[in-house]
Amino acid sequence: MLNAGRITREELCEAVWSESVQKLALALGISDVGLAKICKKLNVPRPGRGYWAKSRGARKVLRVPLPPLKPGQDESYVI
């Protein structure tokens, strides 16, 4: 689980794909929209709609890999 403070792209990506954005945002003390904006700023892919329902079922769901950093892009974010 993430803690408020400095978060790297790799930590955020791992957390977003292991637990829902709503639960992570609640644990960090921010809104889910705020966490989604942080993901967008750091270029971290998030699971699409229905990911958690599909992953609990018998369907195979693929995880999107973390893309490389863009020039001038931050590698971490402070909450």
Say what the pLDDT of residue 52 is: 80
pLDDT at 29 over 80: yes
Among candidate residues 22, 12, 6, the one with its CA nearest the CA of residue 43: 12
Q: What is the pLDDT of residues 41-76, one digit of tens each?
A: 999 999 988 888 787 776 777 888 899 988 888 899
Say what the pLDDT of residue 63 is: 85
Q: How far apart are CA 53 and CA 75, in angstroms?
A: 31
Say what the pLDDT of residue 1 is: 65
Q: Above pLDDT 70, what percent of the chain?
A: 95
Among candidate residues 4, 8, 79, 14, the one with its CA nearest the CA of residue 42: 8
